[in-house]
Structure 1
Amino acid sequence: MKIARIDIEGTARVGIVDADRVQPLTGGTDVVDVLAATPADRVQLVEEARDGAPLLLSETRLLAPVQPRTLRDFLTFEEHLEGSLPLLGAKEPHPAWYEAPHFYFTNTNAVVGPDDPVAVPPGCRMLDFELELAAVIGRPGRDLTPERAADHIAGYTMFNDWSARDLQGAARPAGLGPVKGKDFANGLGPWIVTADELADRRRGGLLALDMHAEINGVPVPGGGDTSANMAWSFEEMVAFASRGADLLPGDVLGSGTCGAGCLLEHWARTGIEEPPPLRPGDVVTLVVEGIGSMSTRIVPGVEPVALGKARVGQRRRARPW
């Protein structure tokens, strides 16, 4: 089943995608309820919640398929890590990367759907995309094993982890993460494909989905990647994320960028900005086997509001040390 959120006369509704049509569900249906249902109950829920005739998908505005409470982004593709090292000021991956599937939290207020444009963030001159696969949680869980985690994944979607590389680099020395370099847009879509629909695409405990990106209709050099190259499975990622923490229906976990899944890798490997940073008018298309494609147009942003430098030399209170 392909679960979407659609815009009908300014109201967000759940829709079920079937080929070139999308079936709206009643206004009281929440996407989290559909995700939380078992496959059998989900079919019954959808049948009972049908509302009107199917719509042409080409004439329907798609919203982000879920508005997650939390959005964790991992880094599970070793090729992407290795390809990015020169611009990260490192020669080899840190040993800590091999010990656990680490992640960072990103901005859930900046989630955009497949039909939304992305504006160049203020002050950015090196805008980049990042092609990722993402799991969507369907059942709450805490302190899960990888085996139990499988029952908590409702389905999968695409994730475009938009990145302002120059803003990200400027903040890195402060040691606080990507900061404004990742704060402006997180693309999800075009819909959620339920886990049972992808069960036959598993290889060695991992989903094996071909992935590639295009800019203005031209494939990005490198030939893309496959999710079979992830260093950890989504079940292992979910288990790690649930250690001492509650995962709730609708939470999203991104795989991290696949190999050749962004411009940064090309810049790092070749030493030149080719393909060039994204500019207004460019269209970025992500394609993932078994899920579909998602195209996003870049539009102009605004200039940053000027701020002063840090206030230094402030008076210190008397301390006991």
Structure 2
Amino acid sequence: MKLGSLKEGGRDGTLIVVSRDLTHAVRATGIAPTLQAALDDWHNAAPRLNALYDEVNAGTAEGRFALDLNALAAPLPRAYEFVDGSAYLPHVERVRKARGAEVPASFYTDPLMYQATSAGFLGPRDPVVVPSEDYGIDLEAEVLVVTDDVPMAVTPEQAAGHIQLVGLVNDVSLRGLIPAELAKGFGFLQSKPRSALSPVLVTPDELGDAWQDSKLHLPMRTWINGQWFGEAECGVDMQFNFAQLVAHAAKTRPLTAGTLVGSGTIANQDTAKGASCLAEQRTVETLRDGQPSTPFLKYEDTVRIEITDAAGQSIFGAIEQVIAPLKR
């Protein structure tokens, strides 16, 4: 099934069940007022939401309405926790090679992960507001999963059963601020503003054969200002699958229902597939030409991120955003 949230009903939106083709929806407030409420009682809510999903697709759901994607908030407008990994090591390898550094052996056995911003997510059509273009504005096209309650110290095999939803995220980065923050040895803060989520999140069964081994096996397509930027394969070169990432996050603490776990920027060894972030493209250019030529994003630039199925149908809906200045 496919779930989203309308920009109504307060800060956490109103839960809706969305048709498979993303054209219609119905409010699910008779089951749960918000997606977080549904996740808190997922065992009971999921079967009822699935039944409503069947009705929406059949055109028989009471209150069914034509869906305007511009009316959508993030499916989870705010979440208890968002942890983001860096599961695609070709990106890490290239970045380190560009600055003459080796990849530590531990990176191949122990996932990279940081605590990301979860207090608020941008909707799929909301602008990315940044105080200055000089901050080095970058997109990061990623896949993420949402869990139910995950016990502490689960194994990857156990963690796979706690993945309830899958979606996309534009994990916005401010590259000009990252070096100074990392030099302090205490992680990201100012360099990681709010991220945007795809219009809907979907259950893994909705993905069919594209969901295998806790990975999504489809290309991540990105465009900047309407021009093709990349279509890296999500299921290729992913060093750690989502079950491993969830287990890593839960090693010493339980995860609350509604926790988001990100994959990190999608990247392949085959650079002909393009890139999913500007830092990756700039690194490829540096290794090839000695210096980068692709600029970071500027005000009025547009970004589109989307994954389609084998028939070309959008699965999660597209994230479509414009870069905008902060109005003071």
TM-score, length-normalised on structure 2?
Answer: 0.82
Query: How many angstroms apart in 2 are the aligned matches of 1:110 and 1:204?
Result: 30
Question: 2:169 is aligned with what amino acid?
Answer: F
Q: C-alpha deviations, 1:232-265, integer Å up to 9, x for none?
A: 1111111111112111111000001011210011
Hey, what does 2:270 align to over in structure 1?
none
Higher gyration radius (CA): 1
Could you say what secondary structure the match of 2:93 adopts?
A: helix
Query: How many angstroms apart in 2 are the aligned matches of 1:9 and 1:147?
Result: 38
Deviation at 1:73, TM superposition (A): 0.5
- CA spacing shift, 1:70–1:204, aligned 2, 3 Å: closer
Unmatched 5+ stretches in structure 2: 268-274, 309-314
Question: 1:14 is aligned with what amino acid?
Answer: L
The structure with the largest strand share of the pair is: 1
> Residue 305 of structure 2 contacts residue 319 of structure 2 at CA under 8 Å; is this kept in 1?
yes
Deviation at 1:96, TM superposition (A): 2.1
> Residue 133 of structure 2 contacts residue 298 of structure 2 at CA under 8 Å; is this kept in 1?
no
Query: How many angstroms apart in 2 are the aligned matches of 1:40 and 1:53?
Result: 19
The answer on 1:297 being equivalent to 2:322 is yes
Unmatched 5+ stretches in structure 1: 304-321
Hey, what does 2:158 align to over in structure 1?
148
Query: How many angstroms apart in 2 are the aligned matches of 1:72 and 1:4?
Result: 21
The answer on 1:265 being equivalent to 2:272 is no
The answer on 1:225 being equivalent to 2:237 is no
Query: How many angstroms apart in 2 are the aligned matches of 1:56 and 1:94?
Result: 51
- CA spacing shift, 1:23–1:225, aligned 2, 3 Å: same
Q: Which moved more, 1:120-129 or 1:66-75?
A: 120-129
Deviation at 1:148, TM superposition (A): 1.5
> Residue 170 of structure 2 contacts residue 319 of structure 2 at CA under 8 Å; is this kept in 1?
no
Question: 1:201 is aligned with what amino acid?
Answer: A
Query: How many angstroms apart in 2 are the aligned matches of 1:145 and 1:78?
Result: 22
Hey, what does 1:84 align to over in structure 2?
95
Hey, what does 2:210 align to over in structure 1?
201
Hey, what does 1:282 align to over in structure 2?
301
Deviation at 1:32, TM superposition (A): 2.6
The answer on 1:135 being equivalent to 2:145 is yes
Query: How many angstroms apart in 2 are the aligned matches of 1:151 and 1:104?
Result: 23
Q: C-alpha deviations, 1:63-98, integer Å up to 9, x for none?
A: 1111211100000001221232256x4523222211
Backbone CA RMSD of aligned residues: 2.7
Instruction: Choose from 25, 28, 32 the match for 1:25.
Output: 28
Question: % of aligned pairs identical?
Answer: 28
Q: How do 1:157-168 residues align onto structure 2 when only pairs under 5 Å count?
A: 157-168=167-178
